[in-house]
Structure 1
């Protein structure tokens, strides 16, 4: 499954976020693999970040991540630069964004 997420960087923290996120720790990459997260890409517009995650089960992965020591360490580090995550309604939360349109689904007759 693919999910999209939206987060925001703290004021004046864009360069620090970019520097710290240029390469994530190898043990976090391994944890993602164990939890069924296959790909995670992030794009930036100003202080806003848009994430595209390819995973087996987002709800299961996001529930398990806080129990991973690698993610705990990563959140202590990168969390200094992240203001918050927003859900589909713009409220604070890590629920995926609402999918509006999908070219493949339309081509396959599902959209």
Structure 2
């Protein structure tokens, strides 16, 4: 399934956010892949962040990552950098950006 999310980085933390994503822990990326994600891309426009995930089952991925210490540490780190944090808990259509048009 394809999942699109929107978050917002704090204007004064853009550099720190981008630096953090240059060093995502290998243990976390391995856990994300093991939980069924094959792609996760984040684009930034100003302070707006747009995420696009290709994942077998988004709610199952979130459940698999929820209790992992490496993910908890990452979420704590991101909470300090983000103005609008996606809590990743909803899992249904309301957790994603709705498709308006597709070619």
TM interval, short-chain normalised: 0.7 to 0.9
TM-score by length of 1: 0.78
Cα deviation digits, residues 28-61 of structure 1 (max 9, x gap): 0111111101110000011100001010011221
The change in CA–CA distance for 1:84 and 1:64 in structure 2 (over 3 A counts) is farther
**Structure 1 moving runs of 4+ over 6 Å:** none
2:32 paired residue number: 32
Normalized per residue, which structure has more helix?
Answer: 2
Q: How many residues align?
A: 96
TM-score by length of 2: 0.84
Root mean square deviation, CA, Å: 1.6
Computing the radius of gyration from Cα coordinates, the structure with the larger value is 1
Cα distance in 2 between the residues matched to 1:69 and 1:38: 21
The change in CA–CA distance for 1:63 and 1:84 in structure 2 (over 3 A counts) is farther
